[in-house]
Amino acid sequence: MRRFENINLLRALAALAVVVYHVVELGHWGSFPDHGPLLAFRIGWIGLDLFFVISGFVITYSAIMLYRQNPGGFARQYWARRLTRIVPLHFLTMAVWITVASPGFLSQGFQTWGWQLLTHVAFVHNFWPATYGSINGVNWTLAVEMQFYLAVALLVPWLARTPGWRIWLVSAVIAWVWRGAMVLLHAHEDSWHLFLAVSRLPGQLDEFGAGMFLAKLVLEERRRRAIDALPWLVGACAFGYLAMRLYWPHASYWNFPWMVVFWHSVLALFLLCVVASAIWLPQTLATRWLRPFDYLGEISYGIYLWQLVAIDAAMAIAGPRPALVLVVTLALTIVISALSWRFFERPIMDLARTPSLRVRNARAVE
């Protein structure tokens, strides 16, 4: 199975962008730059969209490879990898969050906290507003991811034989229809409820679909050359400019139904080109020249899930000094995530693999 080390650089960028964004928002950092390069962190939530495109690529690529190699054993291998990667840290961070960040959680009454735990364990907590962000708020995306994993497992025979452009087209149409329907159904409600509705899996399928299209493209290619990255880099510049040119005049976003329905597809085009560039550029960018960021990408799942606990601790340590809160948050998040990867996540993942498929050899396509 081919390795795409540069993907870790994008994971690192996405995770750090989300962390900085949350420090800015949760710390009410009004003086954070609103112009220049740092302005990008004010929309650091785009890191989540990048994660969805990456997942569309790596999950579809690895699933089709597993299916073609061993159709009969596909389900066992696929779910062993997916569950050992996602579930243990999800459960651990939930337990820590309940203990440290929400000590009154269990005093709500069994019917309330039992329902909260059940929905989070089943990865359906994004279905209801009351459970959406109730435990370690960032993990609503895990529900979307796990639901996507289920869709891939069920559809893998179709994915294996269907052209990538058709997969992406079907995914985009489903996303447009879903988001359009949610705009009509929730037009009378506030933007929070509309966000909850459109952020469920059907509303993210154009981004997953972009990654799925790319997976099929890579699976069908004959050879990979560095020069092939050039058109993708040009496309990233063009679609990135277009996406931001559309976004900033309509930054209130939820007030513009056409933005809610279609803008994320333009963003998906930009992110598709970014991920494709990372695939076709020399992988020594990650393995040699940007090795520290490669490692941050390797532990990015932990960075993402530990960030809110770290932000709470940083605010308690640094007080009303947002710049110091950011520094402490990044330090705590990286240290905790590194320890989590070394002593918890990686050993569990190794248990699900044969000796020939250890984490270091397969991590770039997970």
pLDDT along the chain (366 residues), means of 10: 88 97 94 91 96 98 96 94 96 95 88 95 96 94 98 98 97 98 92 95 97 96 81 97 97 95 98 97 91 96 97 94 96 98 95 54 47
Domain ranges across the chain: 7-220+230-365
Looking at residue 364, its pLDDT comes to 45
Which of 43, 42, 65, 46 shows the shortest CA–CA distance to 54? 46
Looking at residue 1, its pLDDT comes to 59
Looking at residue 224, its pLDDT comes to 72
**Number of neighbours of residue 104 by Cβ within 10 angstroms:** 8
**Number of neighbours of residue 182 by Cβ within 10 angstroms:** 22
Helix (H, G, I), strand (E, B) or coil at 290: coil
Looking at residue 365, its pLDDT comes to 52
Which DSSP letter does residue 302 get?
H
Q: Compute the half-sphere exposure of residue 203: CA atoms within 13 Å on the CB side of its CA.
A: 20
Using a 10 angstrom Cβ sphere, with 0-12 exposed, 13-18 middle and 19 or more buried, the burial of residue 226 is: exposed
Looking at residue 103, its pLDDT comes to 85
**pTM (predicted TM-score):** 0.94
Structure tokens at 9: 């650089």
